[in-house]
Amino acid sequence: MRAFADDLSKSDTAFVAHVWPAISEALGGGRLEKVPHQHPLDRYGGVDFWQVRDDITVLRGLAVRVQDRRAWDTFTIRKARPSGAGTEWEKRLRARDSAETWLLPALTIQAYVTDYEAGPLLSVAWMKTADLMWHVRNGLGNDRVNGDDGVIFSYVEWTEIPAHEVTIVRPHNVRAA
């Protein structure tokens, strides 16, 4: 469990240090507010950060995942754990499929860095969370079992998503903030 918590912390640090400066302007700027791990917004809503625009008094939730070493250029979402513990997929389906209007992150952002601490950013993509869920539910996602921990996850290659639904950025077209 400690390794998982360390990876979450490293992912958050890499997002703030390497990813957000490269994409902030494209996403409308503003400031980030980290949602603490185990806070209900994180545990139930899947919101990792708030993007806050004080100048126009708006905010939105961001689901963020940063991985290191290699750019797979996919969105990944955990669908099942051997322990039976809830996953992002289950939380988001419960919120989306409910008759009430429960919170979902507005955007899902997946990024890849060479190293969590040193960077650099290899690639990043974002899209509306509801659109990503629709694609996974309708067969665009590929399910895999992680050999290390038995977690079942679905991945969606960025290039398989209609271009008008996803924004993909790689270092040659990332402008440093």
* Pick from 45-59, 127-141, 161-175: least confident: 161-175
Number of domains forming the structure of the chain: 1
Evaluate whether residue 176 is within a structural domain. no
Rounded Cα–Cα distance for residues 83 and 132 (Å): 25
Q: Is the pLDDT of residue 174 over 80?
A: no
- Residue count of the chain: 177
Q: List the domain range (segments joined by +) for residue 67.
A: 2-171
Confidence band for 24, pLDDT divided at 50, 70 and 90 = very high
Q: What order of strands is seen across the sheet that includes strand 121-128?
A: 31-34, 49-53, 58-68, 107-113, 121-128, 166-169
* Percent of the chain with pLDDT strictly greater than 90: 73
56 occurs within a structural domain: yes
> Whose CA is closest to 127, among 102, 104, 103, 110?
110
Q: Examine residue 177 and state whether it is found in any structural domain, yes or no.
A: no
Q: Is residue 148 part of a domain?
A: yes
Q: In sequence order, which ranges of 15-143 are alpha helices (DSSP H)?
A: 20-23, 40-43, 88-97, 129-137
pLDDT score at 8: 60
Q: Is residue 139 part of a domain?
A: yes
Q: How confident is the model at residue 1 (pLDDT cuts 50, 70, 90)?
A: very low
